[in-house]
Structures are given as C-alpha cells and as structure tokens.
Amino acid sequence: MGLGLSSCLLLLLLLGVSGDLGSQGTPPEGTWEEEGELWSRARFEAVKKHLGAVGALSKQYWQYLACKVWQEGCEEEEEENKEEEESHRRSGWSLPLVGQDYLELFSAWYCSFGKCCKTGDCQIINNITGLEADLNRQLHGQHLAKEVIVHAVQEFLQNPRPDKALVLSFHGWSGTGKNFVARMLASHLYQDGLKSKCVRLFISLFHFPHHKYMDSYKAQLKKQISETVQLCKQSLFIFDEAEKLHFSLLDAIKPFMARYDNKDQADYRRSIFLFLSNLGGNIINEVALDFWRAGRVREEISMEFLEQQLRAELQEPAENSYARSHLLEENLVDVFVPFLPLEYHHVKLCARDAFLARGLPYTEEALHEVARLMVFVPKEEKLFSAQGCKSVSQRINYFLP
C-alpha cells in the first residue's frame, strides 16, 4: 500500500476512533479504489453530522466551504445569506472545533474526495502551455499578473535545483481574479486540482479564526506542511485571506520558504506558496486610475513601477501582518503580483465566460445588463467595478430566458 493511500486511511482511522464518526468502519483494503468514492461520501456525511452535532453548524457554513474550496454550491447563498454570514463573522462564527484534530479533520475530508494515489506525486501534470492558454482566454484585464505568473512558475518548474520554494504574493481588490488564478494553477499543475493531496488551501478566518489558539494553529500548520512535502514531490500551498493571517503564523512557516540550509529535513524547495490578499489593493487602484487620468492605456503600467509601489505600501507598519512578520525583510516573497481593478468591458467579458461555461447563448445586451448591475467607483469616473467580477456568474441567472 502506497504512502498516499496509507496516510489517507490512517487519518480516517484516527478520525474514526477518536471522533467515533459514523458506523461504516474501514473498507477492506482491496476495495478501497472501487468503493472509495461511495464510502468517502458516507464518511463525509458522518463528519458533517458529527460537527453539526458538536457545534450546530449551519447549512450555509458547509456551503460556504464547498463554494470557497471547489466553487460548488455557490449559487444558492451569496445574496440572501449575506446578513447571516456577517453575523456569523461578528460572533466568531467559524468552527467551534479547536484543538489537535482540527486540521486533521480537514485533511481527512479533502483526502476522502481526492483519489489517494500510490506515491502522492503521480498526479502532477504541470501543464504550463494549458495554464498560459487558459489565462489568456479567461483572465481579463490582468496583463501583469498573467505574464509574471506564467514566467515565474515556468522558470521554477524548469529549474532542476531551485534554492528555495517559489513564493508568490497576489494583491488586489476582491473579484479581480486572485482566487481564480490560484484555482487555475492548482488544476494545471495537478490532475485533481484543488482536490489533490499535494495541494493545501488555508483560509484565514476559517482555519485560524481565534487568536488565542494561535500556538495550536502554528503546530498544526507546520505539521500539515511538512507532511504534504514528504508525500509529494511538488506541493502547492494556498493561503487565502492572507491579510487576516496572524503574523506569528507567517513567521512560523518562514523556514519552509527560506533558502535551503537544513539537510536533515525534508526538501521544501519544490513547493509553491501562494498568498492571496487585498493588501495594497488601494495603491494598485490609484496607479491604474492615474494612468487612466493621464490618458494612458493600462497595458502601459509596468511591473517595475507597480511592484515598487506595492512593496513600499506593504512595509507600512499599519495593522498589516505582512509588515509585522519578517517575510518582507528576509526577501522570502519572490514576486508581488498585482491584480488591477476591472473596468466595465472586463466585467462584460466575465459575463460572457459565465454564459459560455454553462453552454448558454447570450446577447450583447445581456452582457451589458450584467455589467450594469455592478457598482463602479470612484464616484466621479465610475471606472472600476468595486467587486470586480465577483459573483458575475451567479448574476447571469437573472438574464436567463
């Protein structure tokens, strides 16, 4: 039995014993592959029920997660549940479950959906051509992000001996494509995309909600990262809402991103770390607005110029975990990737993609209608969509025949 499969089973076993989750038991080894899917669905239901019993988790909560992680089941919530979600947030709505098996539970959960493969690396596909093509086709208004990401990732993967992990920090307003690109990277580097065992997604408010448990989170996070790296030749770690990541967590994972000098440890140099945040979003938007006011096209905005501004902004010692951690001082971030604010015609392109993705016909008028639903700022110019392309794909529902 391969390492991937066994650790997967082990996690589930641990869970089964410690949490007494469900009564299905462990399937006989030989039938894992065939029955795995069904069984893991059942196990998932059991985990869900268990958690539900512990903390009275709402349906919305699971939808939120499924939506965040897999972009599944997003349609129903969004609008109606904004208020509830907000009140959850205020009351520290995140999982009531803390303690040791918190992240384990989630790896088991991920694990139960992904196919456990024998070596843990057989699902690596590294389809850079496909990545580039899909970014060109589906990422709108981001000439800088597109170029630097493909370049950085390609160079990193081609290097037989990188001296450190690749660390990319995505910055920009919400809805500008940071999540979209992270998902796209996952799906072009791994057969199973975000569901791969070599890909770990951490969402600050979800995985690390309470400051008082920071020590426990730190230990769990480090354990997760080293276990993943031991299992996979190449790992991808995504930190969503990185602006809300406690600086001590950032400091805790620094050694995984640092230049390699530790010979008795697993090799972290083949890992990719993505940090997604809205930090610096305002400065990026100011630059874009200045260019527009000066009558210059946004494609003239250069990486050198913007990255410099962005770096300066991130070092501002405001309530900003980047500045408080030592991530910047130690030059651990390889590229700061700016995501520009989106204009009206970009939103229309997102709407078009949403229609195409569902195989639905669309008219130019429908695209206008969708774009018109968004709020544009600043007040005078009404140039940039305040929510980028966020929830555009849900909004097309209103215009279906």
Ligand X SMILES: *[C@@H]1O[C@H](CO)[C@@H](O)[C@H](O)[C@H]1NC(C)=O
Q: Which is nearer to ligand X, 313 or 353 (CB)?
A: 353
Among 1, 10, 38, 133, binds ligand X (CB under 6 A): 133
Give the pair of three-digit tokens for residue 114. Answer: 């992904």
**Given the structure tokens 């230990």, which residue do they identify?**
219
Closest CA to 204 of 285, 279, 123: 279
Q: Which is nearer to ligand X, 125 or 214 (CB)?
A: 125
128: amino acid identity, one letter: I
Q: How many residues bind ligand X (CB under 6 A)?
A: 5
Q: Does residue 190 sit in helix, strand or coil?
A: strand
- Residue 137 in contact with ligand X, rule: CB under 6 A: no
Q: Which residues of 365-386 are buried (b: 16+ CB within 10 A; e: fewer)?
A: ebbebbbebbebeeeeeebbbb
Q: Which is nearer to ligand X, 133 or 312 (CB)?
A: 133
Among 58, 127, 248, 394, binds ligand X (CB under 6 A): 127
User: Alpha helices of 20-142 — where are they, by DSSP H?
Assistant: 32-55, 59-70, 82-90, 101-113, 128-138
Q: What are the φ and ψ backbone dihedral angles of 280, each rounded to 5 degrees? A: 75, 0
Q: Which is nearer to ligand X, 138 or 248 (CB)?
A: 138
Give the pair of three-digit tokens for residue 125. Answer: 């596909």
Q: Which is nearer to ligand X, 92 or 130 (CB)?
A: 130
Whole-number minimum distance, CB 179 to ligand X, in Å? 18
Whole-number minimum distance, CB 34 to ligand X, in Å? 25
Question: Please, what is the end-to-end C-alpha distance for the chain in angstroms?
Answer: 52
Q: Which is nearer to ligand X, 38 or 357 (CB)?
A: 357
Stretch that binds ligand X, among 62-70, 87-95, 130-138, 163-171 (CB under 6 A): 130-138
Stretch that binds ligand X, among 28-36, 125-133, 150-158, 353-361 (CB under 6 A): 125-133
* Strand-strand pairing, 199-203 and 335-338: unpaired
Stretch that binds ligand X, among 50-58, 93-101, 129-137, 274-282 (CB under 6 A): 129-137
Whole-number minimum distance, CB 337 to ligand X, in Å? 21
Cα–Cα distances in angstroms (integers) from residue 250 to residues 62, 73, 148, in the given order: 27, 31, 23
Q: Does residue 383 sit in helix, strand or coil?
A: coil
- Residue 125 in contact with ligand X, rule: CB under 6 A: yes
Stretch that binds ligand X, among 74-82, 127-135, 198-206, 315-323 (CB under 6 A): 127-135
Among 55, 92, 96, 130, binds ligand X (CB under 6 A): 130
Among 84, 85, 101, 134, binds ligand X (CB under 6 A): 134
- CB atoms under 10 Å from CB of 214, counted, come to 15
Stretch that binds ligand X, among 27-35, 99-107, 126-134, 169-177 (CB under 6 A): 126-134
Which residue number has the CB closest to ligand X?
A: 130
- 90's CB contacts (< 8 A; 6+ apart) are none
Whole-number minimum distance, CB 235 to ligand X, in Å? 19
Pair 180, 186: CB distance under 8 Å:
no
- Residue 1 in contact with ligand X, rule: CB under 6 A: no
Helices 128-138 and 178-189: crossing angle in degrees, nearest 10, is 150
Give the pair of three-digit tokens for residue 310. Answer: 């962005």
Whole-number minimum distance, CB 7 to ligand X, in Å? 26
Whole-number minimum distance, CB 335 to ligand X, in Å? 23
* Strand-strand pairing, 384-385 and 376-377: antiparallel
Q: Which is nearer to ligand X, 58 or 138 (CB)?
A: 138
Residues that bind ligand X (CB under 6 A): 125, 127, 130, 133-134
